[in-house]
Structure 1
Amino acid sequence: MSSAKSPSGFEDETVAVIKEFCSGWADVKMNSLMDALIYPKDFSGMKPALMLDAHGDEVGSMVRSIHSNETMGFVEFERFSPHVLAGQDVYVRTTEGQWVLAVIGVKLSHFMSEAERASGTEELILDLRCHLEGRGCRVLPYGHGRAVRAGDTVCL
């Protein structure tokens, strides 16, 4: 379950893992709050029920914009320090439903306007063309990012 990629509001992969695990001995139903309710097939109601409350989602974000150089702006679902996220490998879900690796980067100062430099804030970006592999960097060809659209999900 911990390998399922399921940012907040997109817990489908986690639920699929739960359904597969429970097949044969329990039924899994979802409610409108994305809660997975597990009903053992042999449950008669004569014994007490037990509730296990846990989160099935993880840290995530959503693609906000795609720039001409195939870097992307994104919106965080939760708020994290940019120092924690910069350099982090992430997964971006393409419109075809495939997960591709990207890396969170920081906009370089020579690409910033005077106002951006003066503000002292750093804009985080997603770079789909390059992600860390051990100590190296693998560069994907241009056009690889065309399968990603604004609104697609991103997970750590």
Structure 2
Amino acid sequence: MEEFIQLLKRLSEARGPSGFEDEVREVVVREMEPYVDEVVVDRWGNVIGIKRGASERRAMVAAHIDEIGLMVDHIDKEGFLRFRPVGGWNEVTLVGQRVWVKTSRGTWIRGVVGSTPPHVTPAGKEREAPEIKDLFIDIGASSREEVEKLGVEVGSVAVLDREFAVLNGRVVTGKAFDDRVGVAVLLYALRQLKELPTTLYAVATVQEEVGLRGAQIAAERINPHYAIALDTTIAADVPGVGDRLHVTKIGKGPAIKVLDGGRGGLFIAHPQLRDHIVKIARDIGVPYQLEVLYGGTTDAMAIAFRREGIPAATISIPTRYIHSPVEVLNVEDAVNASKLLKAVLERTTPAVIDSFLDKRIK
């Protein structure tokens, strides 16, 4: 358990907003290399670890390394940075936060997200949530020229400045658990794997938070016979939310997705692959939850509809307060997700894969 916690800490504290995943990619490559036969970084920055198995059938497991971030789109003459979101933010979670801003030199400097003080806010609007357009980053500069000397410019990105912490026993909090915990689950499973019936492509994907971009590229390249995405899911098991809307609960095991999606359309996990994962969870005694999520999706959607169609499903880690500085999860859920992933990869033989693929009707 402690080994997993330290792995998650390293991944969570690395800085990697969508499109700028370099720092976390270095961590992933270092952690992955000893446990695979080959590591490839593709043109867009996906990390693909290849572990050869007993057959040439291809299994793909994807977990994204990017986190939601901010991008500077204007620098005031007084030295304040205006920004736009990169990924899905709730403005309320941003006010008063510390951030890291990446400079053109590749270094990171600290700043804070400021807003109009309530004392000078028009009457009646003191308690209204600000819009992102009204927020700004203060890096302690007094002019645009000083900002530029520090190497900050239009197009510079920022992420939250937040340390990983243990709350109580196996419950932890930090930034970017979405989806560094999925990456940790994948890396932890790789450490335990021995013989495989298929060749595994373990993919740490980029730009998931801005449209599942990296998974699309990787799936086209690999053309797997089946795929599993690893990601967080909503655990709304908190005061004021009815039981039906909890989706999942922390500490009750990983979730096996049935359906998710939103305005872009719903994704239904491949039924036979999903049932196969459920059966394996029961066989090995891993607790699990079935997940129906309205709103949000995972790399599985991007993978499933490539080429002729790829059987795809998702194993999720229940997480509270997703897309905030204080995401919370139970490490036992993540470790159990890793155990389940390992068992699925070991038990999905070519014969099982054949049952997912094209059927000839006589």
Q: TM-score, normalised by structure 2?
A: 0.34
Does 2:67 align with 1:63? no
> Which residue number corresponds to residue 128 of structure 1?
139
Q: Residues of 2 paired with 1:73 and 1:152: CA distance?
A: 11
List aligned pairs for 1:4-153, cutoff 5 A: 4-26=14-36, 27-32=38-43, 34-40=45-51, 43=52, 45-46=54-55, 50-108=59-117, 122=131, 123-129=134-140, 145-146=147-148, 147-153=151-157
Q: Residues of 2 paired with 1:141 and 1:20: CA distance?
A: 40
Partner AA of 1:96 in structure 2:
R
Greater share of residues in helix: 2
Partner AA of 2:109 in structure 1:
V
2:13 is paired with a residue whose SS is coil
Q: Residues of 2 paired with 1:20 and 1:57: CA distance?
A: 17
Which structure would you say has the larger Rg? 2
Asked whether the equivalents of residues 79 and 142 of structure 2 are also in contact (C-alpha less than 8 Å), the reply is no
Partner AA of 1:13 in structure 2:
E
Q: Residues of 2 paired with 1:22 and 1:83: CA distance?
A: 36
Partner AA of 2:86 in structure 1:
F
- Alignment length, in residue pairs? 139
1:62 is paired with a residue whose SS is strand
Asked whether the equivalents of residues 74 and 83 of structure 2 are also in contact (C-alpha less than 8 Å), the reply is yes
> Which residue number corresponds to residue 274 of structure 2?
none
Greater share of residues in strand: 1
Q: Residues of 2 paired with 1:35 and 1:88: CA distance?
A: 29
Q: Residues of 1 paired with 2:159 and 2:113: CA distance?
A: 11
Asked whether the equivalents of residues 100 and 111 of structure 2 are also in contact (C-alpha less than 8 Å), the reply is yes
Q: Residues of 2 paired with 1:66 and 1:111: CA distance?
A: 23
1:133-152 deviation line (CA, Å, top 9, x unaligned): xxxxxxx7876532200001
Percent identity, please: 27
**Superposition RMSD in Å:** 3.0
How far did 1:50 drift?
A: 4.6
Unpaired runs of at least 5, structure 2: 1-10, 161-362
Unpaired runs of at least 5, structure 1: 130-139
Q: Residues of 1 paired with 2:72 and 2:154: CA distance?
A: 5
1:61-88 deviation line (CA, Å, top 9, x unaligned): 1111111221110010123232210001
Q: Report runs of 4+ in structure 1 exceeding 4 Å deviation.
A: 47-50, 108-112, 140-144
Change (3 A) 1:79 1:25: closer
